[in-house]
Amino acid sequence: MSVTIRSLTRADRVTVAAMLSKLAQLPEFDYIVNTISSTLKDTGGVTLESMLPLIQKTFNLLVAYLDADVSRWFADLCGFTIEQYDAMPFDVDLEVIEHLKQSGEITGFFTRALQLYKGIK
């Protein structure tokens, strides 16, 4: 079964920012921030290709540490209730992540959000 996701909105930014704030307490998150900072310093910018591994690592951390939050957000992106989303096939999370990885919207968000985090920390 194939799912589709809606376009990202400001509410999604708020949701993701709240989840990232929780992740910011983890040592693994520092790796992501430091890698982006290094990439920006070395190349003067980031590309979709350079961001994909970091986006994947971030989503892996989100799923590992914030499964309920991620499930609620993914269900909303797909237009499902949490009960409907939980009844989806086993690999639905991977499909949603793939859609998000392919979206240009998410790359820009993560780049800017992580730059802000680095400036605040």
Task: Render pLDDT for 47-106 as a digit per residue (tens, 0 to 9).
Answer: 666 667 777 777 788 778 888 999 999 999 999 999 999 999 999 998 998 888 787 777
- pLDDT of amino acid 121: 56
| pTM (whole model) above 0.75 | no
- pLDDT of amino acid 61: 80
Token pair for 75: 């269900």
What is the helix (H) or strand (E) element at residue 20, kind and residue range?
helix 10-23
- Counting residues of the chain whose pLDDT is more than 70, the rounded percentage is 80
Cα–Cα distance measured from residue 80 to residue 75, given in angstroms and rounded to the nearest whole number: 5
* In the chain, where the domains are located: 27-120
Q: Return the higher-pLDDT residue of 23 and 6.
A: 6
